[in-house]
Amino acid sequence: MDKKIIITNRAISPLEKIAYKNLRDYDGGEYQVKHSVEISKIVFENNIVHNYTPVELGITQEQIDEYVLHAQIINIKHSDFKPGIFAERNSYESSFAKKVYFDSELEFIVNLFISHHNIHAFEDGNKRTALNLFIDFIDKLANMYIYNILIVQDAQILYLEKKITEDQFKKILYFEVRKKMFKTNIKCNLEHLIPRSNVEDNNNSSISQSDRRSSFNLTELEKGQFFYEQLRKPIFQRDTNQWTVERLEKLILTFLDDGLIPAIILWEDLDGSIYVIDGAHRISSLIAWVNSDYGKENELNDSNHTAIEEYINNKIGSYEEIKRSRDEKYKAEKQIIAKRSIAVQWVTGDYSKVKESFIRINEQGVVITEDEKELIENDQLPTSILSRAILGHGLGQISNSQNEKTKEIFNRFFKPFLSYELNNYPLAGSINEDFVISKIYNVVKIIDNGEKLDVLSLTDKVLGLLKYVQDYLNISQKIYFYGATKKHKTNSFYGFIRFSLLLNEDENLNRLFIENRKIFEEYLVENEGHIQVIARKKRQAKRAYEEIAKYYQYLLLACTSNNFEEIESEFSYLDFGKRKYLTKKEQNIRENYEEFISVVPRCLECQGFIDGDLTTEKKHNCCD
């Protein structure tokens, strides 16, 4: 039990609020158990056995003090009189220390919960406090959640009334506890829910601001509704994939709790298309809940839609179920859905004014990166258009700039999707990285190489280079673009793309690479840290790619002549194996890296590295 309870604003679901109200009403003689039939079925029809060997989890006095303080704060929220006042502090405190011999944190939490029904610890609100603490512990310590909180709440009452035994109470608790299929800090990919659109030159002015709506309601976000079908995101808008499940959950609950949701900022063009300028994550989160789409229409195979849908439906309830249900438990939520609206503010002026507004709004909040600002300002340039078109294939976006070639480029960058378990190491890393559009954009600019090609020509050049790298050279992406931590090395990615441009354009350089590939790649493996040092010297990967490409050139010439003096002189700040000793940390990193690459196969002809596994025997196409 070495984890800490961090007192945060955990999202409280509507059913959890009902459970606390029921317990309060029970204390006032106004509530009767409603789920006795379901509880009987759990007790008598489900064979749930939890055998375990006692193991000391360990708990410190500091942790006990933290847990007791947390419980006291909870009691302040639930008590109707004398909030936070202990009746039996010593016995309550000792309940944490006594329950340390259990096989798992779940066993500890369940037994602790039951013991808190046997202790009148606080002057008031004991049952509510015990339930709240139980849910907090289940969430924070065990990464689990309660499937039906109302059944657990009724079981509390039945246990206190001695209508069920302690073992039966435990059986109910174990039945209702569910393992989260994921951590709620994973990000939701909601990019596909609002399509992107280019603003036509003859349509880049906004319409008159008279009689403009000041809000919209939830039903207008249902698919097929006019307002939803008019929504667009400008091409420069951030990708809507930065919010976690937890943050999405809190926004929905804030709406249902009638809490404050900042206004969505919109702009309308002459065709009546409505562009989201600020609030894309907010409105997309509501759209996801309303339409029960947390990524199911994406091409991503790791969108987690099913797990997120199950989690949200259990914690909050599905929008469709709440909207159509006549169950009393959803009465408050139905009223909110029917009556509440989201405020809207409008940007006026032409498209250039919209971009200025976007930059101004976002600079007040999340810092806009240099790449992001460049993408916004140059959103009509071929490099920006192509980058958005490529990424759109993975985020569910559709645009006029997409075609079979842009789809193939996306697949070559990101498929098969990054998976350490399946030994998948895609060329461009994970599509779920923060601001992945920046990586695509910089690579496209490197390949354009200042030629300022049109979109079609640039598409052909990007695809042609990727075919050269992956189909002709058959480079091992694991060797070039991943290190001991298994994370994608953007520095190497940019640098090698620039180097491969040179190889592809210079027949002699290409020949030297093929002839000296084995020693070239073994040198890279032996000096895996060089690229990162070069990048740090230049401070940014996108500024270092020329220097890294130059390093590759010098290295290739050194391998050809078997003379490394020139590269050591040109890059004198690098360590060329002159250090005799490594720190323990450096040794561990090196050992991990050697294990990581030990399973990479080699070409039967040149003995350079090649993608695949050790069971695969093949040659580079360039070696045939």
The pLDDT tens digits for 489-514 are 999 999 999 999 999 999 999 999 99
Residue-level pLDDT at 1: 42
Q: What is the average pLDDT across 87-100?
A: 83
pLDDT in tens, 420-464: 877 889 999 988 787 788 999 999 999 999 999 999 999 999 999
Pairing of strands 177-179, 144-146: antiparallel
Q: What is the average pLDDT across 22-50?
A: 85
pTM of the model: 0.65
Residue-level pLDDT at 99: 62
Same domain, 433 and 579: yes
User: Is 5 a member of any domain?
Assistant: no
Of 153, 179, 205, the residue that ends a domain is 179
More confident residue, 58 or 373: 373
Of 179, 208, 242, the residue that ends a domain is 179
Is the pLDDT reported for residue 162 higher than 90?
A: yes
Number of domains in the chain: 3
Is the pLDDT reported for residue 208 higher than 60?
A: no
Residue-level pLDDT at 615: 67
Residue-level pLDDT at 47: 66
Of 128, 145, 179, the residue that ends a domain is 179
Position of tokens 């509440």? 340
Residue-level pLDDT at 612: 72
Is the pLDDT reported for residue 605 higher than 60?
A: yes
User: Is 75 a member of any domain?
Assistant: yes
pLDDT in tens, 127-144: 999 999 999 988 888 778
At 268, which helix (H) or strand (E)? strand 264-268
Nearest of 410, 140, 397 to residue 284 by alpha carbon: 397
Same domain, 601 and 503: yes
Residue-level pLDDT at 2: 45
pLDDT in tens, 331-359: 888 889 988 999 998 888 787 877 777 77
User: Is 596 a member of any domain?
Assistant: yes
Half-sphere exposure of 505 (CA within 13 A, CB side): 9
Is the pLDDT reported for residue 251 higher than 90?
A: yes
Task: Rounding to the nearest 10 degrees, give the CA dihedral for residues 122, 127, 130, 136.
Answer: -130
Q: Lowest-confidence range among 3-12, 22-31, 349-358, 543-552?
A: 3-12
User: Is 535 a member of any domain?
Assistant: yes
Helical segments of 275-369, H only: 280-291, 305-315, 319-324, 331-339, 351-363
Same domain, 150 and 296: no
Q: What is the average pLDDT across 269-295?
A: 91
Same domain, 174 and 46: yes
**Domain extent for 350:** 191-368
User: Is 1 a member of any domain?
Assistant: no
Same domain, 317 and 349: yes
pLDDT band at 3 (very low <50, low <70, confident <90, very high): very low
